[in-house]
Amino acid sequence: MSTLAKMALGAMGRLRPKPAQGDAVQRIALPAPEKAGGMPLMQAIAARHSAREFSSKQLPLPMLSNLLWAADGVNRPDGGRTAPSAINAQEIDIYVALPSGAYLYEAAANALQLVAGSDIRRVTGYQDFVDEAALDLVYVADHGRMKLVPAASRESYASVAAGAITQNVYLFAASNGLVTVIRAWIDRDAIANALGLTHDQQVLLSQTVGFPKG
Ligand SMILES: Cc1cc2nc3c(=O)[nH]c(=O)nc-3n(C[C@H](O)[C@H](O)[C@H](O)COP(=O)(O)O)c2cc1C
């Protein structure tokens, strides 16, 4: 769908998901992430960049598992994560919009839990490439987990935590032949509706990931 059509539908509150492609599985157990190997860190940093042209080819499940683990998976026995959060509130949830449905990444269980049985990719942003790229991630802050953070600081701290996750995704992409772009130009109400979020949950950012086009 074109950016103009999305903006018009968004203004009317009618930017809606498409029917899911294939069967929406209730729960996907992810394969154990591969935590070794990859490109040397300095090379991945040297290759990091934003891209806006994506193939529609889907990521194999092991690659999706590795991507989500790199993004914000559990990397220590005490439950610590690959990205920092203020007072370790771990307030950012990652939602994964796939053609078959929208899923919540459960880091501790290393699983994806279905939250919407429709293809919400086109709802995750005004830019046209978000509709067909392999997946769009949505970063949502759960303010209910931030009670110990002063209220005035919650949104900015959560945005910093989400930013750290997005950079993990950029570096994973650079290291694995994928491309990505972080996006703030999004219709937060449309996304919240599509994901069925509560008033405690705030949509912060979205990020498209996929194989490069062509
Ligand atoms: C907070 C933030 C919001 C952004 N929002 C968008 C967006 O909505 N759409 C987009 O195409 N790029 C977006 N970008 C990506 C920037 O345009 C991109 O990082 C910048 O042009 C520098 O390019 P580089 O990432 O390749 O170095 C955003 C970046 C940041 C940090």
Q: Which of 47, 179, 13 is nearest to 207 (CA)?
A: 179
6, 45, 50, best to mutate for ligand 1 pocket (most atoms within 8 Å of CB): 50
The answer, yes or no, to whether residue 62 has pLDDT greater than 80, is yes
Q: What is the pLDDT of residues 140-153, one digit of tens each?
A: 999 999 999 999 99
Q: What pTM, to 2 d.p., does this model score?
A: 0.96
- The radius of gyration of the chain from alpha carbons, rounded to an integer in Å, stands at 16
Contacts (Cβ under 8 Å, ≥6 apart) of 180: 50, 51, 169, 170, 173, 207, 208, 209, 210
Q: What is the pLDDT of residues 96-129, one digit of tens each?
A: 999 999 999 999 999 999 999 999 999 999 999 9
* Atom number, ligand 1, closest to the C-alpha of residue 52: 11
Where does ligand 1 bind, in terms of residues with CB under 6 Å?
49-50, 52, 127, 181-185
